[in-house]
Structures are given as structure tokens and as C-alpha cells.
Amino acid sequence: MTRRSKLSLTIFSLIIIFLIPQVISLAGAQVAGTANSWVSKAPLPIAGSDYGAATVTGTIYVLGSSVNYAYNPNTNSWSQKTPMPVPRTEFAITACNNKIYVIGGVDSNGSSSSVNEAYDPSTDTWTTKAALPTSRSEMQADTINGKIYVMGGRTAVAYSTVNTTEIYDPAANSWNSSVPMLYPVVGYASAVVDNKIYVIGGQDEYLSSASNNVAFAQIYDPATNAWSLGASMPESTWQATAGATTGTMAPKQIYVIGGMTGFGEGSNQTYAYNPSANTWTTAASIPFACYNPAIAVVNDVLYVIGGSQSTVALSTNEQYTPIGYNQTSSSPSPSSQSSDQSTKQTQLIEYIGLIAGLIAIVSVATAYIFTKRTKHKLKTPKQVSLRLK
């Protein structure tokens, strides 16, 4: 192989190495399916219930007890990471400033925990933080403007549910108490939209109803430090999960998925709540009925992972593309949804065409440069001989 061929091959290889990740990245943005539909993805390596999930820089981390797995939606693959130092289940979990906080829960002795540990995905390491003031489990954690809010939960066995609201400041590594919830609930679902926390459903042990399961939505506004009530869900539920879309790739909505309908029996219901209209609609049912699953959101696409059904732990990983995906309008039309999918495919084809064009341009330029050099080398001996005469 000539020097020219070797250099051309080297340049060509460098271009491919540089551009392939761009194609993969673009293709990764196409993992979402048709709006309001479910697709099964690579299952969790270990079946589990009472796990939690959080997203950092596009990667989903599923944690529980001695489990920590990272899921890459673009490659649909899992990798094992360092588990939390103090094994727990039924904890609160949230991401804040590219770190994941696992707070409270039930420890290996079956007791409510106050442990607060932070996981840094960039170094795959854990750090112990200031303990949760009120030890509890079966609650959620939500992040707003760099602070973490932990509400409700159970401090021990039955009839120990609290309406406590406590706020953690990672920058100061300290906790403060805030105004309590309107109703003490455990096993609820929660999500954040427009800097407000929506606590949906759960179980209020102090009600006189048969199941104590509730359907109401409690809304906390940190700006006013006040609670209010939103429209109730179509049905009461507990041990469901919830994720919110941001309005970037899909209209702002909260999706409440699964839950327990009877002892050990999961639900496949999916309900969508529109915070601006304060209304509920029914969305496509999740393929596998479940309760206590983990949930994560990446680019407004939801992933519901694990959970239980009939007291059996699941390893399922179900991807949900929300209503009106890739639309910022609150009432997208079916035709516009189809148009968006076609546009995505066209963009990918155009990108591949651009890569091919760049490769061709560089190849032609390389050939031209070497042709000029060859001509220059051929002329040099003749020019020298003319000078000698």
C-alpha cells in the first residue's frame, strides 16, 4: 500500500470514527414509538420490586437493596454499577445536579431508615449525606431548583403514616421542615410540573373507607409554601408510579401508571393528568399489570421498570411514548403525529447523506493534494539539471 493510500485510509477512518457517534446519537433520538403506545425493551437483569429509578444525562439508573443497574436507552442495554452502601427498599429517590439521592426506606432489619446517600454516576461512587430527620419509607422525593422535597410515608408498621414535609439542600447538606401535607399518604405517586409537586393517590390509613386508597391529587407549591387540591384521579390507587413530560417533546402532562387494585394484584391502567386544565384522560394501558414499579423519563419518553404482579417480582422494561409526542400543543392531531415521525426519518436520511458527502469531499481533496505533490516531485530533478547547465 502506498503512502498516499495509507494516509487516505487514515483520514477516512478518522472521519468515520468521528461521525458514527453522531449517527448513533441521532438514531437514539428515534427510539420513541408511535404516540400513546408501549414497546417492550431489554429487561432488567434482575427482577425486582420496590426499586427506584432516576435519570442522569440520559442514562437511567435502577437501584434497590444491593442492585444498581444503568440502562442506556440509545443502545437498549444494561450495565452493572456500584450498589448503595446501606441496602434498602421502599426508599425515596431523585436526581439533583447530576447526582442521585437515595433517602430513607426500609433497611435489612425491616426498620424505617433515615440514611441519605448520594450516588455520582460520573465516578460510580457513593457519599453519605445528612440523615433524613424523620425515618420513614414508602414515600417519594422530588427535586425543584436544586432542593429535594420528601413528603409523607410511613415511619413504622401500619397506622404510622405521616404528613411531614422535609426539604434537603444538597449545597448546604442540611434539612428543613415545611408545611405538612393536607392528607397523610403512603405509597403514592408523584411528579413535578412547572415547579409544583403533584402527590397523587396513595393510601390514607386514617380514613374510614374499606381500602383507604385515595384518588385525590395534592399539589405543593414551594414558591408559596402551600398545599392545594387538584382534580381526583378516575379511580383510587396506591403503589402506582408517575412520570411527567416537560412540554419539549410532548405536552406537559403527568402519567400515573399501574398500582394495586387488590391484595397482590396489579393494574395496567395509565391515566394522563393535564395540570393546566386540571383534567384526567385515559391513556394506553401498560402491557403488564404491575404495582410498585420504578419509573424514569428520558426526553419525554417514559420507562416503567420492574415492580410486582401477584406478589411475583418483575424484570419488565416497558417504554411509553406519550400522547402528542414531539408536539408542544396540548391538543395534537393524529396527522401531525404521523408527520413528525416522517420528519424524523427524513432528518436521519439527510444526516447520512451529509456524512457520505463529507467523505466524498475529503477523499477528492486528499487525492488532489497528493496529485499536486507528485507533480512537484517529478519537476524537481529537471529544474535542478537546468540550473547545472
What 3 state SS string does the chain have? CCHHHHHHHHHHHHHHHHHHHHHHHHHHCCCCCCCCEEEECCCCCCCCCCCEEEEECCEEEEEECCEEEEEECCCCEEEECCCCCCCCECCEEEEECCEEEEECCECCCCCECCCEEEEECCCCEEEECCCCCCCCECCEEEEECCEEEEECCECCCCCCECCCEEEEECCCCEEEEECCCCCCCECCEEEEECCEEEEECCECCCCCCCCCECCCEEEEECCCCEEEEECCCCCCCECCEEEECCCCCCCCCEEEECCEEECCEEECCEEEEECCCCEEEEECCCCCCEECCEEEEECCEEEEECCEECCEECCCEEEEECCCCCCCCCCCCHHHHHHHHHHHHHHHHHHHHHHHHHHHHHHHHHHHHHHHHHHHHHHHHHHHHHHHC
- For the entire predicted model, the pTM comes to 0.79
What is the extent of the structural domain holding 357? 3-26+340-388
Mean pLDDT lowest among 30-39, 78-87, 161-170, 218-227: 30-39
Mean pLDDT of the chain: 84
pLDDT at 207: 85
**Is the domain of 79 the same as that of 146?**
yes
Same domain, yes or no: 253 and 326:
yes
- 32 inside domain: no
Q: Is residue 72 part of a domain?
A: yes
Are 13 and 43 in a shared domain?
no
pLDDT digits (tens, 9 = 90+) for 11-48: 544 444 444 444 444 444 436 789 999 999 999 999 99
Residue-level pLDDT at 333: 33
**pLDDT value at residue 359:** 56
pLDDT digits (tens, 9 = 90+) for 121-179: 999 999 999 999 999 999 999 999 999 999 999 999 889 999 999 999 999 999 999 99
- pLDDT at 69 > cutoff 60: yes
For residues 298-316, average pLDDT: 96
Tell whether 324 and 198 lie within a shared domain: yes
Whichever domain contains 219, its CATH number is 2.120.10.80
* Confidence at residue 384, expressed as pLDDT on a 0 to 100 scale: 41
> Where a domain ends, among 311, 331, 351?
331
Q: What total of structural domains would you count in the chain? A: 2
